[in-house]
Each structure stands twice: as structure tokens, then as C-alpha cells.
């Protein structure tokens, strides 16, 4: 019996159509905000509404907080903040959601920046009582620099807060983005009755269910029914939303993608109010996976052979197996478990035998993934943050820069007999990007200098060294507060300068450290030919507080 033979060209067309169709179903976004605005709580609520968890992990704020799926480290549970980014994948309305939760403290801004390199959109949470804080503004700017469309969610509307129109004015004046409301709060902050769904022209009334651990009870009403039941509260909401619509852009996806406007939604993530509307907005309007530029600025089509880049490396997620997971954003093609890809940095081959889909700390084996997806490659000790991977056609995606460190401490093992564990732990944490490690012949390997963007990074290092590597350690603070890129020639010059030192970073760069800006200026004045360059474009000062 004869069989139809598919030509190579036709097979290529079929494969390309499959990839393009799957990429169009992906929504990959980060949840970002000022600490304590409710990022992890919203992450839980979104997963709850997609019916991939049974109950949310946050109830009545942090004083009664249960473990959340995205905060799995012990320090995160103890402090109630996100210290490490987390990835979750689930389906909703035939759409694949790749949600990346980000750290909740300014000291981990490097991790947030890496996540923003891997997403196509950002959901920005704004605390209804605090508005756009300095930290929030820094995040807006980072998203703008990366060309990421921003969906703005005014959260915690169940608590007393600012006036709706005042919040809209603040967004316009301080970000330059025009508010384009998709939902509008019915009831002032602290009296959250529901939202006016402007797209469907209906009132969505919420009722708390089990203190927010379960999906809120929801009822839908026509505008006429809402006016009859809510009276002036409904009328005020309609009038306010109308003013914003008349003063700004009507909602337009192209204006959203172009960074001219930001969709506005109101919610209380802790009570699961307004969360379904956020999910629907992501499915309906957030950009799908699209071609991504390489280092030369050339776009790699999503239907090209497989490519991706590592945006995060994490060890210790499974204590029983001492695993080491590299998180890869798929940029093009089909990822197939077992495929052998090339690592652009080294040119070496890498077998993807152990590939997993990640849901917080939980994982399961995955056989294939498509553009926009996040794949966890287990036992990927050779991969580093920023590495590009490809099949067939070579590609290198832009590197993820290191921030300029501003805090420096010498690390020493408390127990000399555990030096091997100490060194292995320091190497591992540097590999993950938890800390920058600096060394010199003068200081030796037993006393590396740890360089951090923020001081809480040292606490994470100390905690993980003690509990994961069984290598208790102690710190000795150094007086430096500034770092500049330099060359090996600076070692002799700065070795004679009080308040300065040159150390070698593990990526091969020499860093000149200075006590303060005055020490730096003295060196620059006395040594005008000395090479001293600012480290990249980012620092904690530039990203202060987020």
C-alpha cells in the first residue's frame, strides 16, 4: 500500500507552522514591584485561578502567611520576602503561561534584571496606599530600556489607599505612560466591592471566600443592575473611569506594545479580587513569544532551529540530590529532551538528557518546549548565566551584565578542616550569580573577597554555606564602596595607594576597589593614564531600593 511522501520543503513548512502556532500560545512575563507590594501573593492567586493549585499560600498578610509555591528557600519563608526568582508554568484558556516571580528586595536587583532579560512583558504591581515609589520608578525605567510592555495592577485595593484619579495622574506624570483602564475599582480604597470590566461593560462583584485562600465568589451584573444595587458608588466609578478614558488613550494593543500606554487593572491579590481579569488580560493582550535579537541586533525567527539562553542558575532546590539547575528561555525552534546543543561561549556540546518543567520548587520531566517556555536543565554545571545554546545555526544572544558591587567582605571558613566544602560552596554560589568572588595572590584562595550589590546577599551566602554545604563561615568587612574595571597593570600602581586595591574577578576582569569617591579622584588625578572604567550601566545606586 503506497504512502504519501512529504517533501523536505513541505516537512519544513509543517514544522515551522507548528512552532509559530505554539509560540503564539505562549505568554512569558515577570511580576515586578517594590518589596511588600504583593508579588508572591499575586503569583499564588494567578495559579489558583488557573486551577493548578487548590488553595493560595498567603492569607491575611505575612503575619499569617503559609508557604508559597514561589518562595521555597528557608530564608524566604522566615522573612516573608522573595530572595530568589522562581519560574512557574501552567495553562489557562488554551494559553501556556510562563510566570517568573522576582526577588522582593533591592539587594537582589541583579536577579530581577536577569529575569527581565527572559520575558516578553511585565506585570507591575503598585501598592494602592503608596503609589509609585522610587523603587517602582526604577523598574519602570528598566522595562522601558528593554522595550518591555508594562501592565499596571493597582493592588491592595481592599485597604485604605490613595484616590484613583490621583494614582492615574501620578502614573502619567512620572512615567510618561498613558493609563488605559481595562478594569476600574468600584468603591474607594478600603471598600473594594468589585470592578467595572470596561471591555465587556459589566460590573464584577467580589465576595471574600475563606480569607482569600480560595477563589473569591464572583457575580456579574449589567451596568443598569449595578447602578440599582450600588447607587452612587457605581456612578462615581463610571465617572472616574470615563475621565481617564477621555483624557488619555483608549485602550489600544499597539500603543501598549509601543510603550506609549499601560493597561490599568485593580485588584486585591490577597483576597483574589480582580485576579481572573489580570489572567484574561495577559491571554488577550500580552505579547506572545517573538523573534529575539542576537548580539549583532539581528532577529532570530521563532521557527529557526532551537536556540535559547541561560538567565538563571540555581542549586539546592532538591536537597536529596544536590542538583544544579540552569533555567533556559527558549527563543526559537523546538526544544527536545535529549538533543545535543552547542554552548556558544565555549563551543562545546551539551546533552540535554535531564530536562524539566519547573513549577516553583516542584518539577517534572519535559520532553519538548517551544519559544517562550522556560526549561530547567538539571546537572548543568558547565552552564553559566548569560550562556547561549543553539542547534544547527549558531547564535549568540546579548550578555547579561554584572552590576557594579558596592559592598565587600572577606570570607573565611570557621573550621579549617572543612576547607574543601568551603571552597566548593563559594565556587557554587559564584557560579549561580548569588555573589561576585574576587581574589588576589596577596590574599590567597583561603580568603576570597565577596562583592555584593546589597548587604543581604552576604546573609544568603552565610545561610546557604551553613545549611547546604555544611561549611560555616565568618565575614570580615572591607572599607571599600566603589569598584572600577581596570587592567593587570594597575596592580603595582594601586598597591602603593592607601584606600585602594586591585582584585581579579572570576570572569577574568580586574576590579580596582576604592574606599570612597575621594580616593578614586585622587588616584585619577595622580595617575591620568591609569585605565579605570565604570562597570557596565547598572548598579544598585542606579537601581536603588528596588
Binding residues, as ranges, are 101-105
Q: Tell how strand 500-505 and strand 482-486 pair up.
A: unpaired
Round to whole Å and give the CA distance between 443 and 440: 5
Which residues is 483 bridged to in the sheet?
A: 513
Per-residue burial over 287-326, b if 16 or more Cβ lie within 10 Å, else e, is: bbbbbbebeeeeebbbbbbbbbbbbbbbbbbeeeeebbbb
In terms of Cβ atoms closer than 10 Å to its own Cβ (0-12, 13-18, 19+), residue 486 is buried
Cα–Cα distance, 488 to 445 (Å, whole number): 18
Helices (H), 404-455: 419-432
Q: Rounded to the nearest 5 degrees, what angle is found at the Cα of 237, between the Cα atoms of 232 and 238? A: 100
Cβ pair 331, 294 in contact under 8 A? no
- Torsion from C-alpha of 192, 198, 199, 200, nearest 10 degrees: 80
Radius of gyration from C-alpha coordinates of the chain = 25
- Work out the burial of residue 366: count CB atoms within 10 Å of its CB; fewer than 13 is exposed, 13-18 middle, 19 or more buried: middle
Q: Is 259 exposed, middle or buried (0-12, 13-18, 19+ CB in 10 A)?
A: middle
Judged on CB neighbours under 10 Å (0-12, 13-18, 19+), 541 is exposed
- The annotated binding site for GTP is made up of 101-105
- List strand residue ranges (DSSP E) for 158-282, in order: 178-181, 183-186, 194-197, 202-207, 217-221, 261-266
Residue with cell 541561560: 310
State CA 185 to chain mean position distance. 27
Distance CA 407, CA 411 (A): 13
The DSSP output letter for 545 is T
Yes or no: say if 408 and 513 are a contact pair by the CB < 8 Å rule. yes
323 to 83, 319, 428: CA distances (angstroms): 19, 7, 11
Amino acid at each position: 500500500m503506497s504512502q504519501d511522501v512529504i517533501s523536505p520543503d513541505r516537512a519544513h513548512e509543517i514544522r515551522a507552522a507548528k512552532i509559530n502556532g505554539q509560540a503564539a500560545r505562549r505568554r512569558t512575563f515577570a511580576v515586578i514591584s517594590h518589596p511588600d507590594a504583593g508579588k508572591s501573593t499575586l503569583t499564588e492567586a494567578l495559579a489558583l485561578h488557573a486551577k493548578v493549585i487548590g488553595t493560595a499560600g498567603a492569607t491575611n498578610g505575612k503575619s499569617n502567611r503559609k508557604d508559597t509555591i514561589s518562595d521555597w528557600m528557608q530564608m524566604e519563608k522566615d522573612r516573608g520576602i522573595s530572595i530568589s526568582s522562581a519560574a512557574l508554568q501552567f495553562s489557562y484558556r488554551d494559553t501556556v503561561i510562563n510566570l517568573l516571580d522576582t526577588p522582593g528586595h533591592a539587594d537582589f536587583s541583579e536577579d530581577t534584571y536577569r529575569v527581565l532579560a527572559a520575558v516578553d512583558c511585565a506585570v507591575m504591581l503598585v501598592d494602592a496606599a503608596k503609589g509609585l515609589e522610587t523603587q517602582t520608578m526604577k523598574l519602570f525605567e528598566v522595562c522601558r530600556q528593554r522595550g518591555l510592555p508594562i501592565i499596571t495592577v493597582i493592588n491592595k485595593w481592599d485597604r485604605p489607599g490613595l484616590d484613583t484619579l490621583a494614582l492615574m495622574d501620578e502614573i502619567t506624570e512620572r512615567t510618561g505612560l498613558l493609563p488605559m483602564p481595562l478594569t476600574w475599582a468600584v468603591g474607594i480604597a478600603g471598600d473594594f466591592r468589585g470592578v467595572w470590566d470596561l471591555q465587556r461593560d459589566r460590573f464584577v462583584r467580589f465576595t471574600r471566600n475563606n480569607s482569600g485562600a480560595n477563589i473569591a465568589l464572583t457575580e456579574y451584573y449589567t451596568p443598569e443592575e449595578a447602578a440599582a444595587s450600588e447607587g452612587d458608588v457605581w456612578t462615581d466609578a463610571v465617572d472616574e473611569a470615563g475621565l481617564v478614558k477621555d483624557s488619555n488613550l483608549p485602550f489600544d494593543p499597539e500603543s501598549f506594545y509601543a510603550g506609549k500606554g499601560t493597561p490599568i487593572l485593580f485588584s486585591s491579590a490577597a483576597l483574589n479580587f480582580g485576579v481572573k481579569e489580570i489572567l484574561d488580560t495577559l491571554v488577550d493582550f500580552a505579547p506572545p513569544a517573538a523573534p529575539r535579537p542576537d548580539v549583532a541586533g539581528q532577529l532570530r525567527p521563532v521557527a529557526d532551529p532551537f536556540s535559547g539562553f541561560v538567565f538563571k542558575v540555581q542549586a539546592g532546590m532538591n536537597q536529596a540530590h544536590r542538583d544544579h539547575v540552569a533555567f533556559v528561555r527558549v527563543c526559537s525552534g523546538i526544544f527536545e529532551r535529549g538533543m545535543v546543543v552547542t554552548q556558544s561561549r565555549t563551543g562545546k556540546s551539551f546533552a540535554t538528557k535531564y530536562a524539566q518543567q519547573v513549577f516553583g520548587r516542584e518539577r517534572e520531566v519535559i520532553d519538548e518546549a517551544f519559544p517562550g517556555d522556560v526549561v530547567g536543565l538539571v546537572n548543568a554545571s558547565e552552564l553559566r548565566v548569560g550562556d547561549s545554546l543553539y542547534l544547527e545555526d549558531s547564535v549568540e544572544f546579548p550578555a547579561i551584565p554584572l552590576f557594579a558591587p558596592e559592598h565587600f567582605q572577606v570570607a573565611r571558613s570557621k573550621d579549617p578542616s572543612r576547607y574543601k566544602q568551603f571552597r566548593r560552596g563559594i565556587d557554587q554560589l559564584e557560579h549561580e550569580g548569588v555573589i561576585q568572588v574576587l581574589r588576589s595572590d596577596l590574599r590567597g584562595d583561603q580568603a576570597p573577597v565577596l562583592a555584593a550589590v546589597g548587604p543581604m546577599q552576604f546573609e544568603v551566602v552565610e545561610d546557604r554555606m551553613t545549611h547546604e554545604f555544611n561549611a560555616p563561615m565568618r565575614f570580615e568587612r572591607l572599607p571599600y564602596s566603589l569598584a572600577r574595571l581596570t587592567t593587570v597593570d594597575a596592580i603595582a600602581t594601586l598597591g602603593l595607594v592607601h584606600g585602594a586595591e586591585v582584585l581579579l574577578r572570576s570572569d577574568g576582569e580586574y576590579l580596582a576597589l576604592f574606599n570612597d569617591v575621594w580616593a578614586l579622584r585622587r588616584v585619577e588625578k595622580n595617575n591620568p593614564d591609569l585605565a579605570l572604567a565604570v562597570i557596565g550601566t547598572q548598579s544598585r545606586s542606579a537601581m536603588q531600593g528596588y
